[in-house]
Amino acid sequence: MRRAVLAEGGGDRVFERIEQMRDKAEAALAQAEKSSPGERHVHMKEHMHMLESIMSQLHKEHPAPGMTTAEHLAWMERHDKLVDDVLGQMMREHKLMMADKECHP
Diameter of the chain measured on Cα atoms = 54
Which residue has better confidence, 70 or 103?
70
Which residue has better confidence, 41 or 83?
83
DSSP string, 30-76: HHHHHS-HHHHHHHHHHHHHHHHHHHHHHHH--PPTT--HHHHHHHH
Look at residue 103 and tell me whether its pLDDT is greater than 60. no
Q: What pLDDT digit, counting tens, does each position of 24-79 carry?
A: 999 999 999 999 888 898 999 999 999 999 999 999 999 999 999 999 999 999 99
